[in-house]
Structure 1
Amino acid sequence: MKKISLFLIILFFSQTKAQYIIHSQLQPVPNIGTAFASYKTNNGETIGLASSFILNQTSEITAINIFGFQQSQTLTSLCNGLILYVYNDNSGVPAGHPIQQTGTPVIAVNISNSTQGYSIVNTSDNNYTVTVDIAALPGQAILQGNTKYWLFFVPKLNIDALSIYSPQKFNWWGAAAGTPEYMRISNLTGAAAYPTWTAYPYHGAAFSIQGLTLGTDEVADAYTDIKVYPNPTSDFVNIISKEKITNVSLFDSSSKRIPVTINSNVVDMSALPSGSYILKLETTQKSVIRKIIRK
């Protein structure tokens, strides 16, 4: 069974930052409601959708949960990777084509193995939750508040050809409520052909987003004021800051605080096991966070 660990980093740093479900649109009742075939096969045939969403606050994204079902209940054994893209909006459609590989996603996950980066949980009967570990990506995945984005997702299934009637296909649940925009796309022929984004009058797909909401100062710092390198690292992390660092805290993936000191703006991580960590840096004016990967 292919079940991959996912880091769910729960940190409560300050009043301007907290990690939790920052966006959610779910199906009304399991096994009831609209669902959409969404998957890619071994021969490259793909059918999928993009669901629009708007976050209330600018946030660093740490995980995205996809809710769906599969009649044959073999998703964990058939899945050998996935594609997840988040696109900007371009006049009411996604600013990119995931099949033709045009446009640049603001978040891009394209995994062709089953060893890292996501987990598949059979929640009940033929229902599944696929969780994609955005925090494991290099750098920070920051989405702006009050801005429309589009989420595209397909699992890569070990199936030779695509059939929208196959019990092995993955079906992405439709949402009971949410941003009412949803678009189809495929590289198929016939009735299921959607060579360009095709709008449908539904309430989007069922998913949730986990993340860290960021204050205004922290968003600016994420791009300019504080630099942390190298990242990933095998031993030391160097910090460049325009302001004096007054305190440093390090947390592992279970939110446990790890004793650490800073000496001449260098943090020693050489004795720590490989994995993802959250580094909190405090100055006299503000606090910021950085995701650090220890190789």
Structure 2
Amino acid sequence: MKKTTLLLCAFLLFMSTNLFAALTANMQFYPALGTSITVYPNSTVYPAYYEVRITVSSYSNTLCSGTYSLALERRDMTTGTSLWGSVTPDSLFPNPGVVSSYSGTCMIHQVHGTKYEYRVKVVFNPTGNAGTTCATMANEEKYTSIGTVVVKKKAVPDFTINGMTVPADGSPMSICASVLNLDAAITANESDYFLGVSECNRWWDRTGNLEWGGWFPGQAPNGIPVQSTMLLSPNYFTAPTPTQVQSNPALAILKGGTIQSPANFAGQDRYYRISVCVGEPEWNCKTALVRVDPNCRMASVIEIADSDVMDQFLSEENTAGMKLFPNPVKDVVNITTKEKVSGYTIYDLSNTIVKMEQNKKGSDLQQLDLSNLKQGLYVIEITTEKGVERHKIIKE
């Protein structure tokens, strides 16, 4: 009898030990954390953040059920390896009560330009259905595998049109050309970009006559031919319809002149809103107001070099307190003045604005880059604290 009792006790001890071993050895996670992270940009709660959703599934190959508790930990890898620290998710893992397996997702916001490693600490407290053995077992703790989330820097749209900088104050640009070319490679950190064109008046009001735009993959390049791109992508048109554009491509051509319709816009100067947009992590656009004048023409230096026009042009120079040199100029013109320069506007001989810049900090010497301008005669309006001076310059 004693021998039988001893054997029974030994068996129960053996079973208890092996059950505990099974619990500590067989608790598993599926899938691993590293393959169950999803990242959603454009958070509805924090628009400048990405939503990182972390899913954990766990089960134990024991006879026990119990309660699960999960703690999210991360370390910042943006500037180098750092220590693990606990972090409270913006949306917590659900609490299922007493279960034999677990599956749940938490969510935390991560700002652009950061890199974090995540792991989840899972604590299983066995209780319940396998008799007193489960209730007397110690809690088990395990870490999931490590998942890395890299959120690149915020995308920023930027571009020039035919070599001209887009005015920061929304002033209109007048392009003396029949073709618009965008240099948009200065747009940063995008994986795709949106290009849009719409007809409008001087006050940015859309006419509804031309509405085109669409997403393009990859980083925005230089040398985007606007009209050609529009014709190659007719499905992006909302007005006119794609079918109308395919049958009559002239409907997509940007033109100058005045607006014909609707009636309340008729006779107003025709402009176009040109936009480059990105969506990482939030929708962000840069837009230019452009007037196209394909028939304008600038006088060239060659045409006037053997005449008295150049001398007459320069003889009317405003020299009150300010000097511009060299003149004629190839690339950069220097300005000497005792006043602070707050901005400048450059006109061609047809009185069309070809370049402008505002809010420049003034000093005794300013430099204006004219390298992107064609050869010709120009008038530069320079705004200082004491007013506006007009100076004439010849671009070689």
Which structure is richer in relative contact order (CA contacts within 8 A, separation 6 or more)?
1
Query: Would you call these one fold, judging by a TM-score over 0.5?
Result: no
Shorter-chain-normalised TM-score: which range?
A: under 0.3
TM-score (norm 2): 0.20
Larger-Rg structure:
2
